[in-house]
Structure 1
Amino acid sequence: MDTAPLHDAFRALQETPAGVAAPPPGEWDADHVWAHVSLITGAAVEAAAALMAGSHPHYDSRLSHDSWTLDHVVAVAGDPAGLRERVRRQGEALCALAAALSDTERDTPVPTLLVADGKVMYDKPLTLREILTGLATVELPGHASQLTALVPA
């Protein structure tokens, strides 16, 4: 699998300026956006590692919206630079795992649950390839835009 689009999406995210402006009501601040990205990336790493280990993979985004879990990730990262570094390393790990898997493994259906704003958006299998493509083309660019919007004018 060509992981260049995924690498590029993680790189573009890392290149977003540090946003410190207050978010619109109901939106996350920059730290919580980074924590969310860390959690969705971790879930993808978990699914890829499960495929590599021959166990039963799944991809579930619920924890990436849980306020306690987001606060915990922010706390353990220590500061905004720690959050960025966490996501950078997770992105590298995900790209390495994706590259190491066979096409058959990447095309394995993975039970997938995607939520947003407390609502189930998707609840059926996706292949790992589809999950990674969604991260590279929709999720990561969307969060890069979200972070850019938090940069003071």
Structure 2
Amino acid sequence: MIPALRDAYRGLLDAAAGEFAEPPAGEWTADEVLAHVSIIDAVTLAAVSAVAAGENTTYDNRIAQDGWTLARVSALAGGRAGLRERIRLQGEALCTLASSLSEAELDTPVPARLLSGGTVLVDEPLPLRDLLTGLAGSELPGHTRQLLALRPG
């Protein structure tokens, strides 16, 4: 799982380098995509940290879809370059912390609410392992494709 997560971060960061065209109406800009990933990383790090500390936790990605929050996180990070560096560091931290967890910790059920485009995808407990696997196998690759689609030409 951790090698796949590292690879997913590498692919996203490679796609995040360079210039981007404006998205079609209603779609996110490259900066909004990166801010979203940064927030998802922070939420995931919080959940993994809580499990490592023996605490109860939840996982909710709704704040990572709020336009005002995306703009604020982007501004606070210093724009695209700052977001890329933040995501790089968050990815390293998440991979390091997750690799230290036991199988029992990875199997810890975490009440999760996951939305995409206003549609509820998950509203039930998931093992922490599944949240990490989803990040590596779906979330990060999906945003990598979004960024690549925004490349000019």
Q: Please tell me whether the aligned partners of residues 111 and 125 of structure 1 are also in contact (alpha carbons under 8 angstroms).
A: yes
Determine the C-alpha separation between the residues in 2 that align with 1:79 and 1:71.
9
SS of residue in 1 equivalent to 2:57:
coil
Q: Please tell me whether the aligned partners of residues 35 and 83 of structure 1 are also in contact (alpha carbons under 8 angstroms).
A: yes
Normalising by structure 1, we get a TM-score of: 0.96
* Amino acid corresponding to residue 8 of structure 1 in structure 2: D
The root-mean-square deviation of aligned C-alpha atoms, in Å, is 1.0
SS of residue in 2 equivalent to 1:36:
helix
The structural deviation recorded for 1:8 is 0.5
- Which residue matches 1:97? 97
Over 3 Å counting, the alpha-carbon distance change for 1:118 and 1:61 in structure 2 is same
5 Å-filtered alignment, 1:60-79, equals 60-79=60-79
Any stretches of 5+ residues in structure 1 without a counterpart?
A: none
Bigger mean CA deviation after superposition, 140-149 or 17-26: 17-26
Q: Please tell me whether the aligned partners of residues 19 and 147 of structure 1 are also in contact (alpha carbons under 8 angstroms).
A: no
Q: Please tell me whether the aligned partners of residues 60 and 112 of structure 1 are also in contact (alpha carbons under 8 angstroms).
A: yes
* Amino acid corresponding to residue 62 of structure 1 in structure 2: R
- Which residue matches 1:18? 18
Determine the C-alpha separation between the residues in 2 that align with 1:100 and 1:69.
31
Determine the C-alpha separation between the residues in 2 that align with 1:142 and 1:114.
15
Determine the C-alpha separation between the residues in 1 that align with 2:39 and 2:29.
16
- Which residue matches 1:9? 8
Determine the C-alpha separation between the residues in 2 that align with 1:18 and 1:136.
23
- Which residue matches 1:88? 88
* Amino acid corresponding to residue 3 of structure 1 in structure 2: I
5 Å-filtered alignment, 1:1-150, equals 2-16=1-15, 17-150=17-150
SS of residue in 1 equivalent to 2:121:
strand
Determine the C-alpha separation between the residues in 1 that align with 2:75 and 2:65.
16
The structural deviation recorded for 1:147 is 0.2
For residues 29-53 of structure 1, the C-alpha deviation after alignment (integer angstroms, 9 at most, x for no partner) is 0000000001111111000000011
Structure 1 segments of 4 or more deviating over 2 A? none
Any stretches of 5+ residues in structure 2 without a counterpart?
A: none
| Identity across the alignment (%) | 53
The structural deviation recorded for 1:25 is 1.1
Determine the C-alpha separation between the residues in 1 that align with 2:60 and 2:18.
28
- How many residue pairs match? The answer is 152
